[in-house]
Amino acid sequence: MVTGLKKLCWQIPEGKFRKANSGTPSIVERVMIMNEISSKSNAPLPNRTPGTATQIGYMPGFGNDFETEALPGALPVGRNSPRRCAYGLYAEQLSGSPFTAPYATLERSWMYRIRPSVKHVRRFSKIEMPYWKSAPNIVRDVISLGQYRWDPTPFPTQQVTFVTGMRSITTAGDVGTQVGLATHVYLANQSMRDEYFYNADAELLVVPQQGRLAIFTEFGKIDLEPLEICILPRGMLFKVDLLDDEARGFVCENYGAKFTLPGRGPIGANCLANPRDFKTPVAWFEDRDGSCGVTVKWCGEFHRTEIDHSPLDVVAWHGNYAPYKYDLRHFAAVGSITFDHPDPSIFTVLTAPTAEDGTANIDFVIFPPRWLPQEDTFRPPWYHKNIMSELMGNIHGQYDAKPQGFKPGGISLHNCMLPHGPDYDAFENASSSNDDPVYLDNTMSFMFETRYPQMVTDFAANQAVLQDDYVDCWEGLQKRFDGTPEGNWSESKQEP
């Protein structure tokens, strides 16, 4: 039965919108479509703890106080720092917030490790990462004002890891004052192996587009694939190995307040990204001697030190400051079931707030498969100018407002107060359609949105594959005003 459903799903043409009365896939079929999309590598579905929906190796929940141990009895009971820890471990706290932060934003984890972190660094040497930029980074001869779109960034011929293959696209704000962000594309064709990294400037939101990753952290292991995301906290050591030959994706480097779930307002307690669907890894450690390198990003500069052991030696931990991952296929989209297109904020997965309510340092927004049932409505996103700056990426398939040219792996940028909206084809199709409900499948795009203007890097302006003709996508839009209430639709594709 399952095989038959799978075969039926793949008979549906790619990039097509399905009407409710024309062979609409069932819920089971739609889930299988998205699972198939994410597993071109034929990876098995995640193992789950018997009798539960929890993946083996992960703990469910968002912002929870977790506790986990890789060896029995490694966690002290009822205290944080005993005189002597079990197994001869060292107790150490990693704080993600000031000690006196309000309880709602107070973040820390206690770790019980083979060596304290002071043994994981020695004297540093500055190194160059010429393609990884931090804000402020204003390039004199680069014009950031404009509507821009890029093809997928090609893989380099030389060997690069997740860190050395980072290519900055935009920066915003100021890394030194801890506001704003940087956006990047990562390209990797080599595992990090004995090289480790932590970012003292920011937390990292990782969005894979091609290739699976194995992320080894101080808190545990995270397996990540396209259509999943993960958060790597500021100050946490990790390394990234490849599960496929090559990997490409997007990274949002958040200098400001950490990502959290958005307020749902009248939506209530359910839908959007539900807390239970976030997964934090269980404790895992390496007890391994040998030459290792540790690279640190600090105040926009990179420093490297060498040690004689693996720094991923946390045997047990408890707290609420830890990495986590989330499967975008679990996002419960909401929208209008009568008329009009709601604001894109209804698709917010995570938000990094500022002191001004409702004005985010960063919003992470997705555009997943969903139904469009609105009557007498222009269903794609409307034409718009916005105080926020929007960088979009395409993970998979086709984006409904830009059916041509926005390729998987591609990026677009619409800076603050610059007009943008559906291209000519999207406008013609949407304004000529009828009221039949439509299911958008074969799609997953996202947006890094910030209150700060995003400055285009030299790499993005001069080395990445910039589509010089992107602004021409609106060229075909015509004047339809002729003084009559009906307007002039004589050259439209068909009458609605």
Structural tokens at position 79: 């205290």
Residues forming a β-bridge with 351 = 260, 363
CA separation for the pair 331, 276 (Å, rounded): 11
Neighbouring CB atoms inside 10 A of 372's CB total 19
Q: Left, alpha or beta for 377 (phi > 0: left; psi -120 to 50: alpha)?
A: beta
CA separation for the pair 46, 57 (Å, rounded): 10
DSSP-assigned letters across all residues of 176-214: TTTEEEEEEEEEESS--TTEEEEESS-EEEEEEEES-EE
Q: Up-side HSE of residue 117: CA atoms within 13 Å toward CB?
A: 14
Neighbouring CB atoms inside 10 A of 52's CB total 9
Q: Comparing C-alpha atoms, which of 473, 411, 453 is closest to residue 145?
A: 453
Quick one: angle between helices 2-9 and 27-37, nearest 10? 70
Structural tokens at position 8: 């039926």
Residues forming a β-bridge with 450 = 389
Tell me: cis bond preceding 136? Omega within 30 of 0 counts: yes
Residues forming a β-bridge with 389 = 450
User: Is residue 341 flagged as an active site residue?
Assistant: yes
Q: Which of 341, 384, 414, 420 is catalytic?
A: 341
| Positions marked catalytic | 341
